[in-house]
Amino acid sequence: MSATIARLGPDTVHVAVDMQRLFAEDTGWQVPGFAGILPNVRRLAGHRPGRTLYPCFITPPSASAARGVWQSFYRRWPQVTDGRLLPDRLDLVAELASLAPASARIAKEGFSSYSGPGFAPALDRLSAGTMVISGVETDICVLGTALDAVDQGLRVVIAVDAVTSSSLPAHDATLQHIFPRHEPMIELATTEAILAAWQ
């Protein structure tokens, strides 16, 4: 990872993945490092508020309402379905909600942000050519979003101090081994380096 990165142009979009109460609070899916990355995610979002998108993971009302293999997934996590999850737990955390207009909040039902039907059109509206990614979880939804963005031809920059996971070994492995396998299509940079390049 370099201390500096090439300039981020006006086609840059910041994608804050799954920065919801669902992952910040004791829901069964709480990510312990969430609070630690939140200040950097907010710095990135506040830098260009009109160029940040907020994909949000939406759980089904029941396991049987999910598609295919997702039914098995949700049978493992009944606490986030079956009416046990308070609807407001799907909301963005308060620190980001004030920056996020409704048009920037995009519901998704899968790991990749592209699983939300509104995501690609939102990128098109912003003429996105570069994607800066923050959020949770590094090895799941952040990874899925990054790989799909590469497939769409976007330059991808991962904010290494603004992503985390409930599995720190998987988080570390993704940053140290998986993302570097995709160089130069996926770049790794600190929040500070990203802000310095995005003028």
Closest Cα to residue 114, out of 163, 156, 85?
156
The C-alpha atoms of residue 144 and residue 141 are separated, in whole angstroms, by: 5
Tell me, what's the pLDDT at 83? 81
pLDDT tens digits, 152-181: 999 999 999 999 999 999 999 999 999 999
* Contact yes or no for 138/171 (Cβ under 8 A): yes
Tell me, what's the pLDDT at 3? 74
Residue 132 CA: distances (Å) to CA of 22, 46, 66, 81, 129: 22, 13, 30, 31, 10
Q: What is the mean pLDDT of the chain?
A: 96
CATH 3.40.50.850, domain 12-59+92-197, yes or no: yes
Q: What radius of gyration do the chain's Cα atoms show?
A: 16
* Contact yes or no for 54/16 (Cβ under 8 A): yes
Show the tokens assigned to 58.
């939406």
- Confidence category of residue 1, pLDDT binned at 50, 70, 90: low
Query: Taking 70 as the threshold, does the pLDDT of residue 143 lie above it?
Result: yes
- In sequence order, the 6+-apart residues with CB closer than 8 A to the CB of 189 are 1, 2, 5, 157, 158, 159, 160, 197
Query: Taking 90 as the threshold, does the pLDDT of residue 82 lie above it?
Result: no
Evaluate the omega torsion of the peptide bond into residue 184 and state whether it is cis, within 30 degrees of 0.
yes
Show the tokens assigned to 161.
């101090």
**Average confidence (pLDDT) over 2-31:** 95
Query: Taking 70 as the threshold, does the pLDDT of residue 101 lie above it?
Result: yes
Q: Which helix (H) or strand (E) holds 55?
A: strand 52-57
pLDDT tens digits, 28-64: 999 999 999 999 999 999 999 999 999 999 999 999 9
Show the tokens assigned to 136.
């949770």
Evaluate the omega torsion of the peptide bond into residue 183 and state whether it is cis, within 30 degrees of 0.
no
The C-alpha atoms of residue 151 and residue 144 are separated, in whole angstroms, by: 11
Tell me, what's the pLDDT at 2? 60
The tokens 């509206």 sit on which residue? 125
Query: Taking 90 as the threshold, does the pLDDT of residue 106 lie above it?
Result: yes
Q: What is the pTM of this model?
A: 0.97
**Average confidence (pLDDT) over 73-101:** 94
Domain coordinates in residue numbering, the chain = 12-59+92-197
